[in-house]
Structure 1
Amino acid sequence: MQISILVGTMTGTAELVAGDVQKALEDKGHSVEVLLMDTLKADVFERPGTFLICTSTYGQGDVPDNARDFIADLQAVKPDLTGKLVGIIGLGDTTYQDTFNQGGAQFEKGLRALNATIVGERMQHNASSGTLPEEDGVAWALAWAEQVEPLAKAA
């Protein structure tokens, strides 16, 4: 399966998680490319395969700075993402109760509005949980890949 991991990050944690997820998925035979959101536009979804959004939350529940232009372009262009299979790895911290994991939630809401199929539950890592986001991310992504693979083959 071909997977593009789109990364929104401020401090590099989401990029670290994406790298570990990439290696784990490649070890299972998938073709994986990690793309930072810095220069991405809505047309990234013209790529073949499935997609993983890996994003942190920043500020008052915002997407990271490097994801702002990308999410704005998605909202402006409004591509029809019917048939696109997407998973979401959200990183946050429950110390910020009102805004916990809102970066991932914004992507989920926006992509659903564009008719993308969100496969599985959005992962919501909590930095205060004492677990490593890259370990939780790998476990979640391997389970997600098993869920999405039959859907991708049928598409």
Structure 2
Amino acid sequence: MQVSILVGTMTGTAELVAGDVKKALEGKGHGVDILLMDNLKADVFQRPGAFLIITSTYGQGDVPDNARDFMSDLLAVRPDLSGKYAGVIGLGDTTYQDTFNHGGKQFEDALRSLNATMIGERMQHNASSGTLPEDDGVAWAVEWAEQVAPLAKAA
């Protein structure tokens, strides 16, 4: 299965998680591309395979700066993502209770509104949990890929 990992990050943590997820998924036989959201447009969803969003939350529950234009384009163009499989790994910190993991939630809400099929519950890593986001992200992504692969093959 081909997986496109779309990364929204401010400090590089989401990119670090994406790198570890890529290695793990490639080890399971999947093809993986990491695409930073900096210059992405809604047409990225024309790529084959499944999509994994890995994003942090910034400011007052916003998507990271490098993801803002992508999110705006996605909501303006509103492509029909029927038949597309996606998942979200959200990074946040419960120290910010009112906006915890809102970056990931915004992407999940947007993809659902565009008819993407969300696989698995959105992963919500808490920076205050004492666990490493890359460890939790890899475990979640491997399980996610196991759920998506048979669906993507049948599509």
Residues of 1 paired with 2:149 and 2:107: CA distance?
A: 21
Q: How far is 1:154 from its partner?
A: 1.2
Residues of 2 paired with 1:28 and 1:148: CA distance?
A: 13
Question: So what's the TM-score if we normalise by structure 2?
Answer: 0.99
Q: Counterpart in 1 of 2:116?
A: 116
Q: Counterpart in 1 of 2:141?
A: 141
Question: So what's the TM-score if we normalise by structure 1?
Answer: 0.99
Residues of 2 paired with 1:37 and 1:98: CA distance?
A: 25
SS at match of 2:128: helix
Residues of 2 paired with 1:109 and 1:58: CA distance?
A: 17
Q: How far is 1:111 from its partner?
A: 0.6
- List alignment gaps of at least 5 residues for structure 2: none
Following TM superposition, the consecutive aligned residue runs of length 4 or more in structure 1 with deviations greater than 6 angstroms are: none
Aligned residues: 155
Matched, 1:53 2:53: yes
Q: Where do 1:7-22 residues align within 5 Å?
A: 7-22=7-22
- List alignment gaps of at least 5 residues for structure 1: none
Identity of aligned residues (%): 81
Q: CA RMSD in A?
A: 0.4
Residues of 1 paired with 2:84 and 2:36: CA distance?
A: 19
Q: Deviations over 1:73-123 (max 9, x none)?
A: 000000000000001000000000000000000000001000001100000
Q: Counterpart in 1 of 2:71?
A: 71
Q: Where do 1:18-29 residues align within 5 Å?
A: 18-29=18-29
